[in-house]
Amino acid sequence: MPLVKSPLDMNTTSDHKSTHQAPAAGETTLSPAPSVPLADPGSLGLAAFALTTFVLSVANAGLIESSAAVFGLALFYGGIAQLIAGIWEFVNRNTFGATAFCSYGAFWLAFWYLETTGGAAEAGSEGVGVFLLAWTIFTFYMTIAARKTNGSIFAVFVALSITFLFLALGALTGVSTLHQIGGWFGILTALLAWYGSFAVVYNSTAKRAALPVWPSK
C-alpha cells in the first residue's frame, strides 16, 4: 500500500469487495500471491496535464504568437503519458483517476490530431466550439465528483471548467477576448495541477504528508 494516499483516490469499501467464497469443508485452498504495491500514477498524470496545458494556454492568452510548440507535448506527454497514468489508475482501482487521466489524455491526442491533420480548419470555429463545449460538460460533472477527492484536485477542476467554458464561448462567438481569458484560466489550471503533482512526488519521497492537499472529509 502507498505510504501517502493518492490525491485522486475516491475508492470506497464497495470498490474492493472480495469475490472469493468461503471454501467448502475439507476443500484445500491456496493462499493468493502477495500483491506488489504500485507507485502512485497521479504525479505523472497531473504533471503531463499541467505542462501541456501551460504551453497551450500561454499561446491562448496571447503571450506568444504560435501554439505549434505544444503539438509534440500533446501527443507524447499530455496524450500518451497521461493515458498510461489513467490505465495505471484502473489497476489501482481508482475510478475517478482512471476516468480523468484517460479522458484528458484522449483529449490531447484528439487536439493533436485536429491541429496536425487540418481537421480544426475543416471543422471551423463552430465545430471546434462544440468540441470544447462537450469537454466543458464532461469537466463540469467531473468537478462535482472532484469534491469528494481533496481541495487541490477540486481547485484544478474548477479552474479547468472555467477554462473550457471561455474557450468554447470564444470559438462559438468569435470574440478573441473570451479566448484569451480562457488562456489565462488555463495557466491557472496548469499551476494548480503542477502543485498537485509536486505534492504527490514530494510526499511520497518524504514518506509523510508534508505538503497539504486538503482531503475531503
Q: Where are the domains of the chain?
A: 41-206
Proportion of the chain above pLDDT 70, given as a percent: 83
User: Each residue of 80-118: pLDDT tens digit?
Assistant: 999 999 999 999 999 999 999 999 999 999 999 999 999
Contacts for 23 with CB less than 8 Å, ≥ 6 apart: 29
Q: Give the pLDDT band (50/70/90) at residue 54.
A: very high
What's the rounded Cα separation, in Å, for the pair 51 and 85? 15
- pLDDT of 34 reads 58
- pLDDT of 38 reads 84
User: Would you state the cell numbers that stand for residue 168, as one nine-digit string?
Assistant: 468554447
In this model, does residue 33 exceed pLDDT 60? no
What's the rounded Cα separation, in Å, for the pair 198 and 106? 23
What average pLDDT does range 42-60 have in this prediction? Answer: 98
- pLDDT of 10 reads 60
Tell me the whole-structure pTM to 2 decimals: 0.86
Residue with more model confidence, 74 or 16: 74
User: How many H-runs (helices) and E-runs (strands) does the chain carry?
Assistant: 7, 0
What's the rounded Cα separation, in Å, for the pair 46 and 213? 13
- pLDDT of 217 reads 83
Beta bridge partners of residue 57, listed in sequence order:
none
- pLDDT of 99 reads 98
